[in-house]
Amino acid sequence: MDIDYIVLGALLHDIGRSVDCGTLHGWEGFKLLAQTPFRRYASPCVTHWLKGRSRQQILDEGDMSPELVTEIMSAGNFEELGLEDRIICIADAMARGDEVVTVKDRYIEARKRYGSNPWIETNEKLTLEFKDEIDILLIRDLYSLFPKLSG
């Protein structure tokens, strides 16, 4: 596992919020990092947002034009996420402010903030699938590593 990629990717995944705080911050972050020596860590900007969705899923659930989806999907392989990108997705979904929370709690808050919609529902489903994979690799529940979550 590429720990440097996970740490730097996790730290930089929301850097696009410096350009756009909306739904396209992942794409803005990718484009921003792609022009820097940190381009190696650009993918998590997109993968924490799209979570491995196919082009068709993005068109069905998102509100992006087909042209933009084509542009994004031609910039990298964002459909087959490596373990590192999945871990960043989970870490992102377990952070609420400066506290660690369960993925379910994080998405309860997301629904309060953005309302319920197909995109958020799929985000939670995909993130919980990533967590299931990590639980199997860990041979324990990921939450058991966090005393506050397992108590």
Number of residues that bind Fe ion (CB under 5 A): 1
Contact region with Fe ion (CB under 5 A), list: 11-19, 77-85, 107-115, 126-134: 11-19
14 is an interface residue for Fe ion by CB under 5 A: yes
- What is d(CA 59, CA 65) in angstroms, rounded to the nearest whole number? 8
Please give the distance of CA 130 from its chain centroid, rounded to a whole number: 11
- Tell me phi and psi for residue 93, to 5 degrees: -80, -5
Report DSSP state, residue 99: E
C-beta of 5 vs 28, nearer to Fe ion: 28
Residue 130 neighbours by CB distance under 10 Å: 22
- Tell me phi and psi for residue 100, to 5 degrees: -95, 130
C-beta of 17: minimal distance to Fe ion in Å? 7
110 is an interface residue for Fe ion by CB under 5 A: no
24 is an interface residue for Fe ion by CB under 5 A: no
Contact region with Fe ion (CB under 5 A), list: 6-14, 32-40, 99-107, 109-117: 6-14
Which residues contact Fe ion (rule: CB under 5 A)? 14
